[in-house]
A and B are shown apart, each in its own frame.
Chain A
Amino acid sequence: MQAVQSVQMKIIKTNNMNNYETVFILTPVLSDVQVKEAVEKFQAILKDAGAKISQVENWGLKKMAYPIQKKSTGFYSLFEFEGAGDVVEKLELAFRRDERVLRFLTTKMDKHHVAFAERRRKKAKA
């Protein structure tokens, strides 16, 4: 009896590009110009590492739930990008070296997360 092979719509990953999302906090001591300059610096690092940035968000000065390095507020900003694995290494190395960054978190986006980010971008645009 010929086994019916269930045709499953699977997203076959052709390249090794993954989607990542990074949120990082900059120290509140910076002026707006310095904040923009810092964010651009990390964007440049991503670009020349070969990543495709699909979303940049700046949530501005936000109050943190607990003080980090004696500071209770920080500039939050978010990058959403697509790239190979080593891009994240370069980015995080830059984060660790830069003392303006209080904290950062990079997450790999699974398909549900990507769909969620898509909807969120559309909502932001609308």
Chain B
Amino acid sequence: MAGKDSDIRYLTPISIDVKKDKYCRFKKLGIKYVDYKDPDFLLKFINEQGKILPRRLTGNSAKYQKKVAQAVKRARHLAILPYLADQLK
């Protein structure tokens, strides 16, 4: 008879996301300019469909979120980033 006290073992330990305090990566790293020409940096700020992520997810401050949005739109104009995509990452 299987041990009664065999507790349920999860394949991956469930991670209760502890309250991570969000920070603005631009202030922390001291980045002052968002380059619209390099896609890998901008990929961090758009979701799989190519949409710009909101501030509450990226944790950016207003000033740098505007710069990121401006850079993404310029990259889209130059066909560096797609306007809409599926499973972009």
Contact = CB atoms under 8 A, between A and B. Distances in A.
Contacts of A65: 76, 79-83, 85
Contacts of B10: none
Interface in A56-108: 64-66, 68, 74, 76, 78, 103, 105, 107
Interface residues of B, number: 15
Given A105-B74, A107-B74, A66 B79 contact: yes
Given A65-B85, A66-B82, A66-B83, A116 B35 contact: yes
Contact of B77 (A74, A78, A103, A112): A103
Given A23-B78, A66-B83, A105-B77, 17 more contacts: A23-B37, A25-B79, A64-B79, A65-B76, A65-B81, A65-B85, A66-B79, A68-B79, A74-B79, A76-B78, A78-B37, A103-B79, A107-B36, A113-B33, A115-B32, A116-B32, A116-B33
Contacts of B79: 25, 64-66, 68, 74, 103
A112 B33 CA distance: 6
Contacts of B74: 105, 107
Contacts of A68: 79
Nearest to A21: B37
B74 to A, nearest CB: 6
A105 B32 CA distance: 21
A115 B81 contact: no
Contacts of A66: 79, 82-83
A105 B80 CA distance: 12
Nearest to A102: B79
A52 to B, nearest CB: 21
Contact of B78 (A25, A112, A113): A25
